[in-house]
């Protein structure tokens, strides 16, 4: 795959990607991941022992999608799909932690939350991630939030999506508009 300027813009726009690996039973496993570029390589951060890491070590075939700017004529968001073989490389944790802190700090500066919850596979790193991340965010924002780790682990993205879908359905089924009686 040639990384054109347009593809590079999508990959460096700061959006989450959806990485699909192959489970031992052949079923797909999806992880929301932060992505970046290192030359012509698409890079993601990972913690040892996570499902996507063990899947890639066993079978390097992956697919990834990333939402892009704009929409097609019927209003569906544009996106990039990448297929390929992944390789596991040790190192880069400090740079990744700083990049994660900068990304969270950007959202904190705009939204000013009192707490940031870190979920997904990243949350399994425990205190070895939370404390340095909280410290780095504190150095980047005027009012630092408390950083906590989700107890939902890899399931947090799927559960959050399911909850949003349920709220949308409940809103459509049960929203009642009251009007004033005449």
Based on the fold, state whether residues 97 and 25 are members of the same structural domain: no
pLDDT digits (tens, 9 = 90+) for 4-41: 999 999 988 878 899 999 999 999 999 888 788 888 88
Give the DSSP letter of residue 76: P
pLDDT digits (tens, 9 = 90+) for 97-140: 788 889 899 999 999 999 998 877 667 677 777 888 899 999 99
- Residue that is last in its domain, among 64, 90, 116: 90
Looking at every residue in the chain, the average pLDDT score rounds to 84
Based on the fold, state whether residues 26 and 45 are members of the same structural domain: yes
Q: Which residues span the domain enclosing 160?
A: 92-173
Query: What is the mean pLDDT of the segment spanning 130-156?
Result: 87
C-alpha distances in Å from residue 68, one per residue of 17, 42, 50, 123, 164: 10, 16, 27, 27, 22
* Rounded distance between C-alpha atoms, residue 170 and residue 95, angstroms: 42
Based on the fold, state whether residues 168 and 100 are members of the same structural domain: yes
pTM, 2 dp: 0.57
Based on the fold, state whether residues 60 and 21 are members of the same structural domain: yes
* Rounded distance between C-alpha atoms, residue 82 and residue 40, angstroms: 13
Based on the fold, state whether residues 57 and 103 are members of the same structural domain: no
């Amino acid at each position: 795959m040639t990384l054109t300027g347009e593809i590079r813009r999508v990959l460096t726009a700061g959006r989450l990607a959806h990485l699909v690996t192959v489970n031992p039973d052949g079923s797909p496993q999806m992880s929301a991941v932060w992505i970046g570029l290192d030359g012509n390589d698409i890079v993601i951060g990972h913690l040892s022992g996570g499902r996507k890491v063990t899947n890639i070590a066993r079978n390097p075939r992956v697919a990834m999608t990333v939402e892009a700017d704009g929409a097609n004529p019927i209003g569906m968001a544009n996106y990039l799909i990448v297929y390929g073989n992944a390789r596991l490389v040790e190192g880069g944790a400090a740079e990744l932690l700083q990049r994660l802190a900068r990304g969270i700090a950007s959202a904190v500066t705009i939204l000013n939350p009192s707490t940031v919850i870190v979920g997904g596979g990243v949350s399994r790193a425990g205190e070895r991630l939370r404390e340095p991340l909280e410290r780095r965010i504190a150095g980047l924002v005027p009012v630092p939030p408390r950083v906590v780790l989700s107890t939902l682990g890899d399931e947090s993205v799927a559960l959050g999506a399911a909850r949003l879908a349920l709220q949308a359905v409940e809103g459509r089924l049960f929203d009642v508009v009251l009007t004033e009686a005449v």
